[in-house]
Amino acid sequence: MAEYGTLRVKTGLAEMLKGGVIMDVVDAEQAQIAEEAGACAVMALERVPADIRVEGGVARMSDPQRIKEIQATVSIPVMAKCRIGHFAEAQILQELEVDYIDESEVLTPADIEHHVDKWGFTVPFVCGATNLGEALRRISEGAAMIRTKGEAGTGDIVNAVTHMRAVFGAIRTLQTLREDELYAAAKEHRAPHELVRWVAENGRLPVVTFTAGGIATPADASLCMQLGADGVFVGSGIFKSGRDLVDDRDGWIEDVSRRARAIVESTTHFDDPKVLADVSTGLGQPMVGISASSLPDDERLEVRGW
Amino acid sequence: MERPLNIGVLALQGAFREHGSVLRRLGAKVSEVRLPENLADLDGLVIPGGESTTIMHMARLYGLDDAIRQFREPVFGTCAGMIVLDREHLGLVDLEVDRNAYGRQVSSFEAEVELADGGPSLHGIFIRAPRIRELGPDIEVLAELDGEPVLVRDGRFLLSSFHPELTEDTRVHRLFLDMVEEAARVGA
């Protein structure tokens, strides 16, 4: 008898995405550019993080119409974001048969205490984390994939690096502990002892771990891969780069396509500096970005999630 | 065995590490293939699951598509790897495949797969799996799910629509290594 929605099937899709680039897209045209550039999946959202920053307001799940158009256009997996704790949005996304749900801090949180209970869903979830404890809490709620957070929509890689180092460094530290020290470690990380012990024994998270937030260049993608990410999410870094969309539409398409292809290539060939130098050459204007350290605390997205 | 078998795993995108760890456990020497020159001196090649559009895109960029067409040793393709090898893509195996034919991720599943030789069933993990629509006359069906082929062999090619690398059962990989060993013996 066939079994659906098992943990192995949920984590299995994430295994198939490894070594790839998942690109944020707002419509079918961007999704097609992403697929042609070699993206292994697309993430549908209402607005890319850079626009959410500029325009403000409440950021929500994408309109189902947009998601259906994207699904009709590409054959690669289509993911979509729901607000933290907004299980009704998640139910709608499951009904639409998206391939993964990202319970994301980039959207405005719907619950300041609880995340979605992800075990009840057939569709798998990916969740963000800034440290090991947060990652393990999400996994204990049923997340089948983790995305280390950066500061989305800035084009500044510094926070993604900080959080990857925090997660992977904490894993290395756990591996040095004695069995009887793992109870206190679990308390310190505010995470279930069983999961802490699994991580200490295996030296990695039990699910695939991508990184996200601030990736804007091929070099950024390579840096994340070399630090231990299984793959990367790119948000504003692609579609907010290049020539001006309104003044020179064809020029914009050419620029964003070339940058998207270059980031895909640099993720596969992350440890081959010759390829990296080639694909980094002549890419045009990267997204202008904002220095993450200049953001006031109430505009930082990465701190959302509990 | 005088020397371990050299198996390359196409590492453009997808579940290449899992194949590598199963093959290492079975005693093979494993290397990752990202460029055509990485195919030199290999006794066999694995094309893993992943996104077939991404894998084909990256293969074409670096001439790995032609290099794999010229590669003469046994090849094992799982899921996306089956698609990459079919008539429509590299054209190396005489079959036609429908991509994602079981549906989107909510329709991904685990099920027991029946072996043609009557041996104990295999536990198959099917993730947005391809479905074989048409099979050339010379292709041997090694396992079926509900009467449809899911593990087939065409001479030096072994293809599965499910993911043996995600389970503890090493029988499919062992079969592939037997094919590689046999080819190496004949070739030597």
Q: How far is B84 from chain A (nearest CA, A)?
A: 15
Which of A4, A13, A16, A268 has the most B C-beta neighbours within 10 Å, making it the best mutation to test the interface with B?
Answer: A16
Q: How far is A178 from chain B (nearest CA, A)?
A: 27
Q: CB of A272 within 8 A of CB of B34?
A: yes
To the nearest 10 degrees (0 to 180), the angle between helices B171-187 and B16-25 is: 70
Q: How far is B111 from chain A (nearest CA, A)?
A: 5
Nearest to B14 among A16, A37, A76 (CB): A16
Q: What per-residue confidence (pLDDT) applies to B29?
A: 97
Tokens encoding B20: 């590598």
Arithmetic mean of pLDDT over chain A: 94
Residues 6+ apart with CB under 8 A from B175: B142, B158
Average pLDDT over residues A177-199: 98
Chain A CB contacts of B12 under 8 Å are: 19, 268
Share of chain B above pLDDT 70, in %: 98
Average pLDDT over residues A162-183: 97
Q: How far is A41 from chain B (nearest CA, A)?
A: 8
Average pLDDT over residues A12-30: 97
Residue B1 has pLDDT above 60, yes or no: no
Q: What per-residue confidence (pLDDT) applies to A298?
A: 81
Cβ of B87 under 8 Å from any chain A Cβ?
no
Q: What per-residue confidence (pLDDT) applies to B2?
A: 67
Verify whether the Cβ–Cβ distance A39 to B54 is below 8 Å: yes
Q: What per-residue confidence (pLDDT) applies to A300?
A: 84
The position carrying tokens 């960029």 is B61
Verify whether the Cβ–Cβ distance A4 to B107 is below 8 Å: yes
Sign of the Cα torsion B59, B61, B63, B65 reads positive
Arithmetic mean of pLDDT over chain B: 95
Q: How far is B148 from chain A (nearest CA, A)?
A: 14
List residues of B with catalytic annotation. Answer: 79, 163, 165
The position carrying tokens 């006359």 is B137
Verify whether the Cβ–Cβ distance A13 to B127 is below 8 Å: yes
Residue A82 has pLDDT above 90, yes or no: yes
C-alpha closest to that of B164 among B25, B42, B38, B65: B25
Verify whether the Cβ–Cβ distance B50 to A16 is below 8 Å: yes
Verify whether the Cβ–Cβ distance B51 to A41 is below 8 Å: yes
Residue B52 has pLDDT above 90, yes or no: yes
Average pLDDT over residues B32-51: 97
Residue B188 has pLDDT above 70, yes or no: no
Lowest mean pLDDT among A49-53, A139-143, B41-45: A49-53
The CB-side HSE value for A124 (13 A sphere, CA atoms) comes to 32
The domains found in chain B, sorted by start residue, are 6-187 (3.40.50.880)
Q: What per-residue confidence (pLDDT) applies to B186?
A: 83
Average pLDDT over residues A139-161: 93
Question: Which residues share a beta bridge with A129?
Answer: A148
Q: How far apart are CA B85 and CA A231, in angstroms?
A: 25
Q: What per-residue confidence (pLDDT) applies to B152?
A: 98
Cβ of B15 under 8 Å from any chain A Cβ?
yes
Q: How far is A265 from chain B (nearest CA, A)?
A: 7
Tokens encoding A205: 């998270």
Residue A302 has pLDDT above 90, yes or no: no
Which of B108, B114, B144, B163 has the most A C-beta neighbours within 10 Å, making it the best mutation to test the interface with A?
Answer: B108
3-state secondary structure at position B149: strand
pLDDT digits (tens, 9 = 90+) for A248-274: 999 999 999 999 999 999 999 999 999
Cβ of B14 under 8 Å from any chain A Cβ?
yes
Q: Which residue has the higher pLDDT, A90 or A296?
A: A90
Verify whether the Cβ–Cβ distance B109 to A2 is below 8 Å: yes
Could you tell me the pLDDT band of residue B3, with boundaries at 50, 70 and 90? confident
Q: How far apart are CA B55 and CA B58, in angstroms?
A: 5
> Does the complex come out with an ipTM higher than 0.90?
yes
pLDDT digits (tens, 9 = 90+) for B89-139: 999 999 999 998 999 999 999 999 999 999 999 999 999 999 999 999 999
Tokens encoding B172: 């499919």
Chain B CB contacts of A123 under 8 Å are: 105-106
Q: CB of A273 within 8 A of CB of A281?
A: no
Residue A53 has pLDDT above 90, yes or no: no
Please name the residue of chain B whose CA is at the shortest distance from the CA of residue A12. B127
Could you tell me the pLDDT band of residue A13, with boundaries at 50, 70 and 90? very high
Nearest to A9 among B34, B58, B110 (CB): B110
Residue A282 has pLDDT above 60, yes or no: yes
Nearest to B13 among A13, A35, A268 (CB): A268
Question: Which residues share a beta bridge with B97?
Answer: B132
Residue A134 has pLDDT above 60, yes or no: yes
3-state secondary structure at position B59: helix
Residue B144 has pLDDT above 90, yes or no: yes
3-state secondary structure at position A117: coil
Please give the single-letter amino acid code of residue A138: R
Q: How far apart are CA B9 and CA B39, in angstroms?
A: 10
Cβ of B102 under 8 Å from any chain A Cβ?
no
Interface of A with B (CB under 8 A): 1-6, 8-9, 12-13, 15-20, 35-41, 71, 75-77, 94, 97-100, 122-124, 264-265, 268-269, 272
Lowest mean pLDDT among A25-34, A45-54, A55-64: A45-54
Chain A CB contacts of B100 under 8 Å are: 75
